[in-house]
Amino acid sequence: MKPEELDRVLSGEADIVPSSGFVASVMEAVTAEASAAPLAFPWKRAWPLAAGFPVLFLWLAVSQIGIGPEAATPGPDLYEWFERIVPMATGWVASGLLMTAAITVWSLRLIRLR
């Protein structure tokens, strides 16, 4: 089909008009959604994590000071732990940044193709 024929066929069609009350019902739904209360934060799921951080910091402090039944044994050497963790964390951070950049470039190319 040639572009002229397509233009001729499409120009003969009637305009599409929404049914009566459609615009009003859509606007009513939008207004109801906008005025609804925001979602509540899921405290029931988040409290274990929030409670775990102070317990972790307290354990680290006690293990460094040497209070309690473990006082005879020295606490963990945080510097040694840091030296072991940093190379692993560096790799994870680098791979995360690389994947983020790759996904961003890929999505931008998809947008440009349209």
| Amino acid 71: pLDDT | 53
Contact criterion met (CB below 8 Å) for 83 and 71: no
Helices (H), the chain: 3-11, 22-35, 43-65, 78-113
- Give the tokens for residue 8: 């001729």
pTM above 0.75, yes or no: no
Task: Name residue, tokens 């599409």.
Answer: 16
| Amino acid 95: pLDDT | 92
- What's the rounded Cα separation, in Å, for the pair 44 and 6? 60
- What's the rounded Cα separation, in Å, for the pair 87 and 84? 7
| Amino acid 68: pLDDT | 57
- What's the rounded Cα separation, in Å, for the pair 59 and 70? 11
| Amino acid 28: pLDDT | 94
Task: Name residue, tokens 């459609």.
Answer: 22
pLDDT per residue rounded down to tens, the chain (114 residues) = 788 888 888 887 777 888 889 989 999 999 999 998 888 888 888 898 889 988 888 887 777 666 655 555 555 677 777 777 788 788 888 999 999 999 999 999 888 876
- Give the tokens for residue 10: 């499409």
